[in-house]
Structure 1
Amino acid sequence: MVPLFFLIVALASGLGFSDLPSVRLVGSDSRCKGRVELWKNGQWGTVCDDHWNKETVAIVCKELQCGPVVRIRAGRLYLPKAQKDQHIWNPMCQGTEETLAECEEDVVECDDHNEDAGVICEETLHFDNLQLVDGPSHCIGRLEVKYAGKWGTVCFEGWTFQGAKVLCRELGCGRPILTKGSCSKDQQGTGDIWPGQVECQGSETSLNNCPFALMGKNNCSHKDDTWVQCEERFALRLVDGINHCSGRLEVLHKGIWGSVCNDGWGEKEDQVVCQEVNCGKAIPQKPRARRRFGPGKGSIWLDDVRCKGKETSLEQCKHRFWGYHDCTHQEDVSVICSEK
């Protein structure tokens, strides 16, 4: 029977039965060390040490998403001992297999469980969740991870820009702009600090796909909490109008909503906005009517916007640098769409 733990993980992750892990380490308090057991032909069995070498052990550590091999051990040293009637598998690996179950089975059987194989892989963390907090948006802030039901910060020592790339992508944000440690007092966290070396390549879809090796003693304090700033995904909205299909145009930049100057604004720009907010066609307006929804406050993010009319997002239209303009809020642009 497939263990309930693996079944819950698979269902929560949207995996099928074919995606369930086929190997586990038992007899210790860590998922990265213990006696090796292999799921094959509908049953869990121990693994014979006849062909147990570094190449084979490396397959197991990788399959379990642990770090590199630390030590090869005898499986009989881990309690509770294997049951006498438990099957013993005898895989012969080439070292190129992705999983232990893919290795060819030796026709020679092991005598007893005294030959059971064991392994110690480098311990790694597998985060339940992660977030950026205390910033202006979910794309900017102090990195916190949830592990074993507890939220904690991440020490900047061992953190890389490649890790920031993966994090920003996982959060649904744009590319990383900044990552730093030595947070100011108002940016520091509390509670646990997870020390580790994140070894991302930058192409992974999740930090959990990157080796995250626990470090030993460290001198990290919350002054060393990791801070990450990702680019915001482009967003816009119409505010202070009759409904969500009319109003003063605002765009999101650096986690802050700001207005758009009406210099050069026309029907093509209107249509791109209406299409992006799923509100049908643009209703033509006279220049003075574009101020009907009042002036905004705060930042004016865009000026001299030029669209061809075929763009799927206002982000694709030409404009000045973000925040560069010669306007006042009396020139904030408004848009009215047909709703259908």
Structure 2
Amino acid sequence: IIFVVSPELTDSVNVRLVKGNNPCAGRVEVLHEGQWGTVCDDDWDIADAAVVCRELDCGTAVKATYQAQFGQGLGQIWMANVACSGSESTLKNCTSRRWGVSNCDHREDAGVICSGKLRLVDGFHLCSGRVEMLRTEGWGSVCDAVFDQQDAEVVCRQLDCGAPVQVLGAAAFGKGKGRVWSEEIQCRGSESQIDIFLHCLNKLSLVCPGYTDLRLVNGSDSCSGRVELQFLNDSGTVCDACWDMRAASVLCRQLNCGIAVSVVGSDWFGKGSGEIWADVFDCDGNETKLSECSISSWSRAESSHSRDVGVICSGRGSIRLVGSGGDCAGRLEVFHSGSWGTVCDDSWDIKDAHVVCRQLQCGVALSNQQVPAWFGHGSGPIWLDEVECEGNETSLWSCSSPGWGKHDCQHKEDVGVVCSGSEE
């Protein structure tokens, strides 16, 4: 039941952020009846985060976080289904369920990342742009005199943007409007927030980790391949220790390639060259762009292109049915190590066929083609044999098999699949 919380019930309520790396980021906790408790992330969004940041005098909301990103709280879950318009001055003025009523547990604790007194604007992602600072007179640009790498580390840390990549002066992201603050920023590099004093002159721009372009390369199409990210004029690969299925899901969504099917190593799409980006992407999995993910740390994994990560999205590029004249029936072929190859029909059954049809968005399997090479003999490698699926997997890559290229078959045993047709 949703209702507007009355002032009589909530005058004593305070809000705090805990377990973040600065006072303007962390798990949201509210004080009610003398006890601190958490907020459930059901319906939690950037408008709710904006109210918390404003109430705490922490600038603007950078991100609303979910699923206990800042750790699980203890005690009561005081608020759930919070629905702020974004203009409220305090969280207690937003609608929500009654105090202490929810169907949540602490794995769903909501969090907030605020800009604090700082923000980066007019950049090509959330972690780059012209540095602006909030004061009582409003937002104004920060000057670049005597601003160094240590100062940049504090700015990037405060914005939950990892370690700085580049400090740019001369208003690289535009001249901005309004005031230019005349203080100099001086940091040792270990602070959680900026200390300000002295004097400065020119406007400052800063780039924290973040990327200007991204792509999947060396796959069969643009929806599978080795992950390559471009930062300004430099392209590079990503180490496998920095990546997981949540980051892959965001990448596939950004590339309009459906959902993430698998995260694979360099044996799939080969070793890259150039830079190896070592920042660890901390994605919830529901972001629309990779640039919206926090960068939690820098990986200390071995910097070698033998660790280059690849991603396979649900786009049809990594698996296909050929030989029937249509997309939803034919000889099964899979793409691996730069080559299309076939699948042997040893142990193949209707459950395996169902998984193929699901992955291709072709409905369900109508029949299991037991006649060897029903759709003709393939050529090239026989990549898989003795495939065993449960039938509920989202992709063939989740099914067990002896391994790539391990078989005792010939192409006269190439398996075929007939699906019911497109699900669209």
Deviation at 1:160, TM superposition (A): 6.1
Q: What is the correspondence of 1:143-292 to structure 2 with a 5 Å cutoff?
A: 143=228, 145-147=230-232, 151-154=233-236, 162-163=241-242, 169=248, 171-172=251-252, 174-175=262-263, 177-178=265-266, 200-201=279-280, 203=282, 206=290, 210=295, 228-230=308-310, 232=312, 235-284=318-367, 287-288=370-371, 290-292=372-374
The correspondence for 1:127, drawn from 195, 198, 211, is 211
Q: Which residue identity does 2:378 align to in structure 1?
A: G
Deviation at 1:239, TM superposition (A): 1.5
Secondary structure class of the residue paired with 1:284: strand
The CA distance in 1 between the partners of 2:203 and 2:420, in whole Å, is 66
Of 303-312 and 131-140, more deviation after overlay is shown by 131-140
Contact (CA 8 Å) 1:66, 1:121: kept in 2 or not? no
Counterpart for residue 315 of structure 1: 397
Deviation at 1:127, TM superposition (A): 2.8
Q: 1:19 to 1:313 in 2, by over 3 A?
A: same
Contact (CA 8 Å) 1:59, 1:97: kept in 2 or not? yes
Of 138-147 and 299-308, more deviation after overlay is shown by 138-147
TM-score w.r.t. the length of structure 2 is 0.44
- Bigger radius of gyration among the two: 1
Contact (CA 8 Å) 2:343, 2:385: kept in 1 or not? yes
The gaps in structure 1 that reach 5 residues or longer are 1-14, 48-54, 71-78, 90-94, 104-112, 214-223
The CA distance in 1 between the partners of 2:305 and 2:399, in whole Å, is 38
Deviation at 1:244, TM superposition (A): 1.7
CA RMSD of aligned residues (A): 5.8
Structure with more contact order per residue of length (Cα contacts < 8 Å, sep ≥ 6) = 1
Q: Which residue identity does 1:228 align to in structure 2?
A: D
Of 311-320 and 293-302, more deviation after overlay is shown by 311-320
How many residue pairs end up in the alignment?
264
Question: Identity across aligned pairs (percent)?
Answer: 28
Q: Which residue identity does 1:250 align to in structure 2?
A: E
Q: 1:260 to 1:116 in 2, by over 3 A?
A: same
Deviation at 1:133, TM superposition (A): 4.6
Contact (CA 8 Å) 1:125, 1:212: kept in 2 or not? no
Contact (CA 8 Å) 2:373, 2:411: kept in 1 or not? no
Contact (CA 8 Å) 1:232, 1:252: kept in 2 or not? no
Q: 1:259 to 1:41 in 2, by over 3 A?
A: farther
Of 274-283 and 256-265, more deviation after overlay is shown by 274-283
Q: 1:37 to 1:271 in 2, by over 3 A?
A: closer
TM-score w.r.t. the length of structure 1 is 0.52
Deviation at 1:324, TM superposition (A): 0.7
Q: Which residue identity does 2:345 align to in structure 1?
A: N
Q: List per-residue Cα deviations over 1:15-57 (Å, max 9, x = no partner).
A: 888546663699xxxx9999x752356832479xxxxxxx998
Q: List per-residue Cα deviations over 1:231-257 (Å, max 9, x = no partner).
A: 645743212214222111122333433
Q: Which residue identity does 1:145 align to in structure 2?
A: Q
Q: Which residue identity does 1:238 align to in structure 2?
A: L
Deviation at 1:296, TM superposition (A): 1.4
Counterpart for residue 75 of structure 1: none
Q: 1:96 to 1:238 in 2, by over 3 A?
A: same
Asked if 1:335 is matched to 2:414, the reply is no
Contact (CA 8 Å) 2:156, 2:208: kept in 1 or not? no
Secondary structure class of the residue paired with 1:297: coil
Q: 1:227 to 1:142 in 2, by over 3 A?
A: farther
Secondary structure class of the residue paired with 2:308: strand
Counterpart for residue 298 of structure 1: 380
Q: 1:23 to 1:176 in 2, by over 3 A?
A: same
Q: Which residue identity does 1:177 align to in structure 2?
A: G
Secondary structure class of the residue paired with 2:230: strand
Contact (CA 8 Å) 1:168, 1:176: kept in 2 or not? no
Asked if 1:62 is matched to 2:163, the reply is no
Secondary structure class of the residue paired with 1:318: coil
Contact (CA 8 Å) 1:282, 1:338: kept in 2 or not? yes
Contact (CA 8 Å) 2:218, 2:338: kept in 1 or not? no
Secondary structure class of the residue paired with 2:404: coil
The gaps in structure 2 that reach 5 residues or longer are 1-45, 51-59, 63-114, 122-126, 143-149, 167-174, 184-188, 253-259, 285-289, 299-303
Q: Which residue identity does 2:265 align to in structure 1?
A: I
Deviation at 1:315, TM superposition (A): 3.0
Contact (CA 8 Å) 1:67, 1:123: kept in 2 or not? no
Deviation at 1:171, TM superposition (A): 4.6
Q: Which residue identity does 2:214 align to in structure 1?
A: L
The CA distance in 2 between the partners of 1:323 and 1:284, in whole Å, is 26
Secondary structure class of the residue paired with 1:268: helix
Deviation at 1:314, TM superposition (A): 2.9
Contact (CA 8 Å) 1:133, 1:143: kept in 2 or not? yes
Deviation at 1:141, TM superposition (A): 5.5
